[in-house]
Structure 1
Amino acid sequence: MRVRVARLDGGRMRVEVGDPDPRALPVLVRAADEDESGRGLALLDAVATRWGVERRAEGKTVWCELAEEGRATG
């Protein structure tokens, strides 16, 4: 697993988490109240200005961009 954090133009931050398995791409689902898992991407989607997944020969990277605190998003 690899984690990278970088500051972008406009006060944004980009966070990347990479792992060597190119399969099992993450999918945004809506967990029911009684579900014990399935909330990770929903939380990410709620706080990130944008996010995505990049497939590579050596695995995949899930990334998100976060706005600087106090700045408007979108």
Structure 2
Amino acid sequence: MIPQTRRHAVSDRASPTIAVVGSVNLDLVASADRLPAPGETVTGATLTRHPGGKGGNQALAARRLGAEVALFAATG
């Protein structure tokens, strides 16, 4: 016979600790007022920087869900 276990709400449990090993990057995102037509060049785009990388994104998502996170990534 399988023992019955109580299902806990997320708030009842201690936050898990997650180790993420992956890349971190600085994403450069260009935004323009409209998409170019085939063969056309659109100028005046805005260039912004955002943190990224698969490891960085996963660590951030886990943290936002309440986990304690350790991120291991190469820099430089």
Q: Which has the higher contact order (CA 8 A, sep 6+)?
A: 2
Shorter-normalised TM range: under 0.3
Q: Which has the higher strand share?
A: 1
Q: Which has the larger radius of gyration?
A: 2
